[in-house]
């Protein structure tokens, strides 16, 4: 059952999604070599609570952190801990908030210190694919149009799209129908309707598309140990143009000052 949101509900959900962007910006201030991922998690949790929301991930399915922090070959669902970031790392940080009954869910992949040009290019192209996918999130299009946009763009650069993990609907629940693969055929899948709220999240690997899961039951990493990038926005489907509910604006303000 796909939940369509009213305009009023979308505005409430937008506040949760914007708070994720602000939280990630707060975290971005502290991303540097030597910082522990547990410290970044603590900053995020305090920031979310201080802004009248609760962390959307903590305790979800038993997940122990406020943030999913995934470094280098970790694709998603990395658990914050004692690991220290080092110069040359990339780190995907995925954050969720719950406020006024609605979830926000967004992710951004950060460069730590001086990162190889080849890997920076992976980040750039993955982020581009997110916005190309979002352009397809309008009423009358289909789920396959979103996935096709991601796949076509990143595969043209020789990257691969993770198949085992997908985007999803988002709203009163963190994960709702429909699933949003990052690959697919144009014109295939469920037809998009006004009021659908989707978390679109390309996960793109420098090497092979296959992934493995660590013994912790959470961390997903690339099968060939090559880096992976991940960007995510919450989007409301409209009749003419997709409405992006989350934002990278605050994050990039911080990054541009660094």
| CA–CA distance, 9 with 137 (Å, rounded to integer) | 18
State yes or no: pLDDT of 53 exceeds 90.
yes
Q: DSSP string of 35-67?
A: -BHHHHHHHHHHHHHHTT-EESSTTGGG---SE
State yes or no: pLDDT of 89 exceeds 90.
yes
**CA nearest 227: which of 112, 76, 31, 71?**
71
Q: Where are the domains of the chain?
A: 7-257
pLDDT given at position 121: 98
CB of 198 within 8 A of CB of 237? yes
CATH class of 7-257: alpha beta
State yes or no: pLDDT of 109 exceeds 90.
yes
At residue 104 the predicted structure's pLDDT band, cuts being 50, 70 and 90, is very high
- The per-residue pLDDT of the chain, averaged, comes to 98
Q: What's the pLDDT tens digit per position in 220-232?
A: 999 999 999 999 9
The count of residues in the chain is 258
pTM above 0.95, yes or no: yes
At residue 137 the predicted structure's pLDDT band, cuts being 50, 70 and 90, is very high
State yes or no: pLDDT of 258 exceeds 90.
no
**For the residues 215-222, what does the mean pLDDT come to?**
98
pLDDT given at position 229: 98
Q: What's the pLDDT tens digit per position in 151-196?
A: 999 999 999 999 999 999 999 999 999 999 999 999 999 999 999 9
Q: What's the pLDDT tens digit per position in 7-30?
A: 999 999 999 999 999 999 999 999
The H or E element that residue 255 is part of is: helix 249-257
Output the 3-class SS for 91-150: EEEEEEEEECCEEEEEEEEEECCCCCHHHHHHHHHHHHHHHHHHCCCECCCEHHHHHHHH
**For the residues 65-79, what does the mean pLDDT come to?**
98
Residue 192 has what DSSP assignment?
A: P
């Amino acid at each position: 059952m796909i939940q369509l949101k009213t305009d009023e509900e979308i505005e409430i959900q937008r506040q949760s999604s914007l708070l994720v962007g602000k939280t990630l910006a707060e975290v971005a201030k502290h991303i540097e070599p030597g910082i522990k991922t547990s410290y970044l998690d603590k900053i995020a949790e305090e920031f979310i609570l201080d802004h009248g929301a609760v962390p959307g991930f903590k305790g979800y399915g038993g997940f122990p952190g406020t943030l999913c922090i995934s470094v280098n070959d970790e694709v998603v669902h990395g658990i914050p801990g004692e690991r220290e970031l080092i110069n040359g790392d990339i780190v995907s940080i995925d954050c969720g908030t719950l406020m006024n009954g609605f979830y926000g869910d967004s992710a951004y992949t950060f460069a730590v210190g001086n990162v190889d040009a080849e890997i920076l290019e992976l980040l750039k192209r993955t982020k581009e694919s997110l916005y190309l996918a979002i352009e397809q999130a309008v009423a009358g299009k289909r789920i396959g149009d979103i996935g096709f946009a991601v796949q076509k763009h990143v595969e043209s650069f020789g990257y691969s799209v993770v198949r085992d993990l997908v985007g999803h609907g988002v709203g009163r629940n963190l994960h709702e129908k429909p699933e949003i693969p990052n690959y697919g055929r144009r014109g295939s899948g469920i037809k998009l309707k006004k009021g659908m709220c989707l978390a679109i999240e390309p996960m793109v690997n420098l090497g092979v598309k296959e992934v493995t899961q660590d013994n912790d039951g959470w961390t997903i990493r690339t099968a060939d140990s090559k880096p992976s990038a991940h960007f995510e926005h919450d989007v409301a489907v409209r009749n003419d143009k997709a409405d992006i509910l989350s934002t990278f604006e605050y994050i990039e303000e911080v990054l541009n000052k660094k």
